[in-house]
């Protein structure tokens, strides 16, 4: 297959920390252009202030990776799909479920590949955990996803705005893992969302869920944790306890454990290349649907203002 000429749209922290190194290490892609109105770009790579400018004057491209905040992603993705380009959507794939549904239709109409890139599903322990759980009775699940927003999202005001998800921006990573490793769909039962008095998105959340067989799942999210960070999923089964920690990188099973190197974003791009080669899309909205259900049905409480 010919090398895929890729443009990265949005050059914030996630693009620079993860996307650009993964692209540089993948022979199937070449970074053909970058787009950002607020960033000088990458040395030696054509850079544009807008996607329209890239289309008007830039080099030919085959695909785009959208790393912008979710609130502005739909119009950019739709413009790319309408030109027959393949599109990778950083998580969450859109600000609403309706946006993602419209993009699926646009991708089908254009014959382009559309990929909702749930990067945490590619953590080293996720697929082994899924395989181990498939043969066991699951009794209960507990998710603790607590981190320091000032460390991971410094000065990112978009995350506190409508559509920015607040603490669900990292929390949706946990949901992307559990919807992959558990054998049955999850349903929201209750949610308590803690909104800072000066913000439009929650800083913490407690979710009560169950799968379609009634297995209880509880979730604890918080953006206010300092010191060691917590990204843990504990699954109690009839054969003992499975623990995924470090965001899915470390898997502990009864009597054994494994920890592999970070491979999430390189695996994302390998899969994106495979989708393009096969003329397929990979779109899953299950994690986003659960977040939407929490906003729809959750109880809201006001907590102290947050100042970055």
Distance CA 142, CA 173 (A): 14
Query: Among 19, 91, 146, 199, which one carries the catalytic annotation?
Result: 91
91 belongs to the catalytic site: yes
143: its two tokens: 């998710």
The number of angstroms, rounded, from the C-alpha of 83 to the middle of its chain's C-alpha atoms is 25
Q: Are strands 204-211 and 186-196 parallel, antiparallel or unpaired?
A: antiparallel
- By C-alpha distance, which of 95, 262, 238, 88 is closest to 164? 95
CB of 79 closer than 8 Å to CB of 50: no
CB of 147 closer than 8 Å to CB of 230: yes
Active site residues: 91
């Amino acid at each position: 297959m010919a090398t895929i000429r890729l443009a990265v749209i949005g050059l914030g922290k996630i693009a620079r920390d993860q996307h650009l190194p993964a692209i540089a290490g993948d022979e199937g892609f070449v970074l053909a252009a970058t787009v950002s109105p607020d960033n000088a770009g990458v040395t030696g790579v054509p850079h544009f202030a807008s996607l329209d400018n890239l289309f008007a004057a830039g080099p030919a491209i085959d695909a785009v990776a959208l790393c912008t905040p979710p609130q502005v992603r739909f119009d950019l993705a739709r413009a790319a799909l309408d030109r027959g380009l393949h599109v990778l959507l950083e998580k969450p794939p859109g600000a609403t479920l309706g946006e993602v549904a419209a993009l699926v239709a646009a991708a089908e109409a254009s014959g382009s590949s559309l990929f909702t890139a749930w990067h945490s599903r590619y953590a080293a322990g996720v697929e082994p955990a899924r395989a181990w759980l498939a043969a066991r009775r699951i009794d209960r699940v507990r998710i603790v996803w607590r981190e320091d927003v000032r460390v991971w999202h410094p000065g990112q005001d978009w995350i506190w705005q409508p559509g920015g998800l607040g603490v669900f921006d990292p929390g949706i990573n946990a949901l992307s893992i559990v919807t992959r490793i558990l054998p049955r769909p999850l349903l929201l039962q209750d949610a308590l969302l803690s909104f800072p008095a000066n913000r439009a998105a929650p800083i913490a959340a407690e979710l009560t869920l169950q799968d379609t067989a009634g297995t209880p799942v509880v979730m604890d999210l918080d953006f206010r944790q300092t010191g060691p960070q917590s990204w843990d999923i504990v699954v109690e089964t009839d054969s003992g306890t499975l623990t995924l920690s470090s965001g899915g990188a470390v898997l502990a099973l009864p009597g054994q454990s494994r920890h592999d190197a970070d491979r999430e974003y390189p695996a994302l791009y390998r899969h994106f290349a495979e989708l393009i080669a096969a003329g397929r899309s990979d779109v899953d909205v299950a994690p986003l649907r659960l977040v939407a259900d929490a906003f729809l049905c959750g109880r809201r409480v006001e907590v102290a203002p947050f100042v970055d």
